[in-house]
Amino acid sequence: MQSHASTQAATTERVAAELEIRNVLARLAQLADTGETDEYIRLLTDDVVWAMPENPTIGLAGSERRGHDEIAAGQRERIDAGHQGPGSNTMHTISTVSIRFDADDAATAVSSFAYWGDTTTAPAVRSIGRYVDELRRTADGWKLARREITFG
């Protein structure tokens, strides 16, 4: 039987982990908008997988990218196309985040997102959807290991 002190310590650790995960998710959205690719990549595991379906509404082809190099290339392509980053007048927001711990060092987060365009003139939602994210605790903290995106 667990003591009150050990139960309280476990709860405190879980809350701290959840807050760190929420910050990782928020930073990913913010860094998509600022275009800071190197910092963006530091939030991902080495073997990260990013699965995104086609979205003709905003002109994105579907893809599944693996590892830092492919993810960085994808972000740079979206920046070059004006879909994110400096001067794009776009913004990614996330909400309704729920986190389930699968183990002490693994969690799944599900969140809703909205992708905004024309943020400096007439803000409009260009797409909405859901992220299903798998995260792992590493020696450097919690990192995104897999993101599956659905639109609509």
pTM of the predicted model over 0.85: yes
What percentage of the chain has pLDDT greater than the value 90? 76
Q: Give 123-144 pLDDT, tens digit per residue.
A: 999 999 999 999 999 999 999 9
The residue extents of the domains of the chain are 4-151
pLDDT band at 7 (very low <50, low <70, confident <90, very high): confident
Provide the sign of the torsion angle of the four alpha carbons 38, 143, 70, 82, taken in this order.
negative
pLDDT at 95 over 80: yes
Q: Give 36-84 pLDDT, tens digit per residue.
A: 999 999 999 999 999 988 777 666 677 789 999 999 998 998 899 888 9
In the CATH scheme, what is the code of domain 4-151? Answer: 3.10.450.50
- Cα dihedral 101, 74, 31, 24, rounded to 10, equals 10
Q: Which two tokens stand for residue 113?
A: 């997102």
Mark residue 113 as left, alpha or beta (left: phi above 0; alpha: psi -120 to 50; beta: remaining).
Answer: beta
